[in-house]
């Protein structure tokens, strides 16, 4: 069953937006950490810092903001006390990211890692409560079921990460090498399952595509979640088996379903499909990299696999969704307070199309820079420079949208004179 968004249930504007703005700040900080990857080692301590800045600081904030928004408008999950999430979840997540990255930058400093484990434990408590509310929500559409799976994977990812910090910072005698592949599997599940749930809403709503096939909506999330659980269980029983490939089996089918939907879009010339098309190309490249990795084991290929997943598909879709969701949320907020003699500015007025197309071009340069770094780590300055340019463009574009929003619902003539 396809979810029908209910925008009167949307949370306060600053709840998702503060996560989105934090993601921009972490993206800017990410640019200064690539120098530690110049040795080309994989895995290596120098890679832990940019990896977690990207996964937790950038992608984590964008995906949490999108999750809270979707839970309200799709799953009818209200936020009667938004301060708990505005300060508690947001604050604990930022503190955990800052402490974890400080610990990595300081050579696994125990004090910082202990603080990170405490902060993320607080986030786990709030997210577990959120999952409990979602589980008891009356919403039974496919997107809500997918969000349950995604949130469960996020909780598992955080718990496994905290367990690893228990080894590194608290001296617990837990098997670190057994926890690490499970942590990676759960993190992949969080990313893919949330993207599945988001796509079921975003594609028909913003790209005017046909609804995704009914069988896909019913079975994609539970089948993928089941494969993740199977891969994790087999990894515990036979650690040397390399069972991670089970979690990658749905990737080609996902590319086919999304590609088929995009071909049916009634807005093929708009800018937003470009982001999805780029993500699809990266997804197909990831499938090829996984297949090649079965026969060829090299550090460059493993870097490329990680880049295509996090810096490629996930980051591309996050940036594309931000270019649409942020002005849409601003527009929705204005609609709530509109008066009869006033006219709400359009999405195009809040964030013009040429800015979104510029963001897409900068994103393409980021992808090329990332691939070059995967092949030649000495070129670490390329993703650093392209990431800085992209962060600067995002800030300029969203600042312009915010200033346009600040003008409120003035008559169109006055707005034109003000501009």
Lowest mean pLDDT among 227-241, 243-257, 404-418: 404-418
pLDDT (mean) for 26-44: 86
Residue 40 inside a domain? The answer is yes
Query: Does 408 have pLDDT greater than 50?
Result: yes
Give which of 123, 66, 121 is closest to 93, Cα–Cα.
Answer: 123
Burial category of 294 from C-beta neighbours within 10 Å (exposed 0-12, middle 13-18, buried 19 and up): exposed
| Residue in this structure with the two tokens 């994989």, named with its chain if needed | 42
Residue 62 inside a domain? The answer is yes
Give which of 315, 320, 197, 327 is closest to 270, Cα–Cα.
Answer: 320
Per-residue pLDDT tens digits for 303-333:
999 999 999 999 999 999 999 999 988 888 8
> What φ, ψ does residue 298 adopt, rounded to 5°?
-145, 155
Confidence category of residue 341, pLDDT binned at 50, 70, 90: low
Query: Does 4 have pLDDT greater than 90?
Result: no
Q: Which two tokens stand for residue 85?
A: 């999430």
Residue-number span of the structural domain to which 230 is assigned: 7-332+343-403
What is the predicted pLDDT for the residue at 337?
A: 66
Query: Does 45 have pLDDT greater than 90?
Result: no
Per-residue pLDDT tens digits for 245-265:
899 999 999 999 999 999 999
Confidence category of residue 367, pLDDT binned at 50, 70, 90: very high
Query: Does 417 have pLDDT greater than 50?
Result: no
What is the predicted pLDDT for the residue at 285?
A: 97
Residue 360 inside a domain? The answer is yes
More confident residue, 360 or 409: 360
Per-residue pLDDT tens digits for 165-194:
999 999 999 999 899 999 999 999 999 999
| Residue in this structure with the two tokens 């603080």, named with its chain if needed | 115
User: Is 334:345 a contact under the CB 8 Å cutoff?
Assistant: yes
Per-residue pLDDT tens digits for 67-110:
998 888 887 777 767 788 989 999 999 999 999 999 999 989 99
Residue 411 inside a domain? The answer is no
Q: Which two tokens stand for residue 188?
A: 């992949």
Burial category of 75 from C-beta neighbours within 10 Å (exposed 0-12, middle 13-18, buried 19 and up): buried
Residue 158 inside a domain? The answer is yes
Query: Does 356 have pLDDT greater than 60?
Result: yes
Give which of 419, 298, 409 is closest to 352, Cα–Cα.
Answer: 419
More confident residue, 141 or 353: 353
pLDDT (mean) for 4-24: 82
Confidence category of residue 340, pLDDT binned at 50, 70, 90: low
Q: Which two tokens stand for residue 252?
A: 């080609």
User: Is 211:204 a contact under the CB 8 Å cutoff?
Assistant: yes
The CA-atom distances, in angstroms, between 329 and each of 56, 214, 313, 336, 416 are: 23, 28, 24, 11, 22
What is the predicted pLDDT for the residue at 344?
A: 77
Residue 410 inside a domain? The answer is no
**CATH number of the domain where residue 279 is located:** 1.20.210.10
43: preceding bond cis by omega (within 30 degrees):
yes
What is the rounded distance in angstroms from the CA atom of residue 107 to the CA atom of residue 90? 26
Confidence category of residue 414, pLDDT binned at 50, 70, 90: very low
User: Is 258:299 a contact under the CB 8 Å cutoff?
Assistant: no
Tally the domains of the chain.
1
Confidence category of residue 416, pLDDT binned at 50, 70, 90: very low
What is the predicted pLDDT for the residue at 97?
A: 98
What is the predicted pLDDT for the residue at 404?
A: 87
Q: What is the largest CA-CA distance in the chain?
A: 69
Per-residue pLDDT tens digits for 54-63:
999 999 999 9
User: Is 69:10 a contact under the CB 8 Å cutoff?
Assistant: yes
User: Is 283:254 a contact under the CB 8 Å cutoff?
Assistant: yes
Per-residue pLDDT tens digits for 130-165:
999 898 888 778 888 999 999 999 999 999 999 999
Residue 413 inside a domain? The answer is no
């Amino acid at each position: 069953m396809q979810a029908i968004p209910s925008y009167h249930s949307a949370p306060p504007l600053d709840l998702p937006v503060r996560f989105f703005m934090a993601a921009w700040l972490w993206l800017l900080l990410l640019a200064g950490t690539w120098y530690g990857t110049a040795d080309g080692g994989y895995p290596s301590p120098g890679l832990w810092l940019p990896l977690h800045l990207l996964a937790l600081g950038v992608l984590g904030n964008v995906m949490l903001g999108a999750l809270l928004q979707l839970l309200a408008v799709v799953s009818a999950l209200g936020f009667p006390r938004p301060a708990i999430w505005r300060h508690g979840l947001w604050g604990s997540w930022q503190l955990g990211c800052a402490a974890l990255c400080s610990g990595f930058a300081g050579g696994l400093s125990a004090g910082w890692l202990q603080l990170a484990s405490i902060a993320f434990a607080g986030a786990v408590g709030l997210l577990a409560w959120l999952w409990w509310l979602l589980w008891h929500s009356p919403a039974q559409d496919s997107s809500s079921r997918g969000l349950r799976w995604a949130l469960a994977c996020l909780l598992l990812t955080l718990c496994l990460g905290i367990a690893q910090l228990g080894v590194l910072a608290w001296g617990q005698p837990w098997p670190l090498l057994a926890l690490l592949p499970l942590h990676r599997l759960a993190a992949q599940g969080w990313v893919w399952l949330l993207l599945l749930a988001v796509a079921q809403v975003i594609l028909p709503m913003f790209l005017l595509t046909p609804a995704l096939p009914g069988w896909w909506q019913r079975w994609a999330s539970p089948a993928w979640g089941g494969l993740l659980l199977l891969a994790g269980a087999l990894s515990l029983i036979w650690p040397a088996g390399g069972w991670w490939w089970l979690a990658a089996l749905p990737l080609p089918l996902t590319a086919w379903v999304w590609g088929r939907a995009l071909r049916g879009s009634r807005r093929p010339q708009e800018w937003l499909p470009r982001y999805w098309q780029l993500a699809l190309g990266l997804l197909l490249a990831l499938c090829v990299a996984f297949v090649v990795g079965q026969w060829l084991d090299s550090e460059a290929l493993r870097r490329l696999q990680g880049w295509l997943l996090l810096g490629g598909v996930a980051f591309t879709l996050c940036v594309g969704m931000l270019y649409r969701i942020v002005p849409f949320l601003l527009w929705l907020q204005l609609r709530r307070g509109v008066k009869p003699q006033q006219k709400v500015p359009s999405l195009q007025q809040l964030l013009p199309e040429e800015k979104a197309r510029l963001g897409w071009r900068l994103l393409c340069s980021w992808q090329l820079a990332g691939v070059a770094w995967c092949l030649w780590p000495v070129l670490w300055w390329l993703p650093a420079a392209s990431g800085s340019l992209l962060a600067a463009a995002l800030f300029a574009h969203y600042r312009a949208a915010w200033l346009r929003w600040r003008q409120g619902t003035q008559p169109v003539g006055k707005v034109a004179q003000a501009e």
